[in-house]
Every structure is written in C-alpha cells, then in structure tokens.
Amino acid sequence: MDIKVLGTGCAKCNTLEKVTKEAIAELGIDATVTKVEDFIKILEFGVMTTPALVVDGKVVVKGKVPKVSEIKELLK
C-alpha cells in the first residue's frame, strides 16, 4: 500500500503523518508512508486544503486530521 501525507510541514500535517503511522502499526499492514511537502506536487492531487491523505493514488482525507480509528477504517 502506498500512502502519502500531503502538507507543507505545519503542525496538523505532522500530526496526520503520526496518526497514519500509528494506524498502520495497529493494523499490521505493509505500507509505505511518504511525506509530500512540495506545493506543486500537492496541487497535482487537486488538493487545495492541507493536510491531506492519499492512499494508492486516491485522496481519502483533506483539510482535517482524523482519529487513528478513522484512518484504520479507511485503510481496511
């Protein structure tokens, strides 16, 4: 599974990365988490509000930091 955290390095973006990694660990799934901070690359996903979470090329969250339990549901 390829997961990208889109954000420019703000506190919410860092928190999204942290809770995403927690969710992956709790689920025990094989996933790669990449942080994308380049604004142009973020725009290529059609995201105007960060943070955002992209799973296998599809934007599943944008503009908020979901709870670990919510991320686990998205990754199942």
Q: Specify the CATH number for the domain of residue 68.
A: 3.40.30.10
- Identify the pLDDT of residue 29: 95
Sign, CA torsion 2/27/48/38: negative
What are the residue numbers of the active site?
10, 13
Q: What is the dihedral of CA 25, 26, 30, 33, to 10 degrees?
A: -50
5-59 per-position pLDDT tens digit = 999 888 999 999 999 999 999 999 999 999 999 999 999 999 999 999 999 999 9
What b/e sequence results for 2-26 when a residue is b if at least 16 CB atoms lie within 10 Å of its CB, and e otherwise? ebbbbbeeeeebeebbebbbebbee
Question: Domain limits at 7?
Answer: 2-75
- Identify the pLDDT of residue 46: 96
- Identify the pLDDT of residue 9: 85
Checking if the pLDDT of 76 tops 90, the result is no
- The structural domain count of the chain equals 1
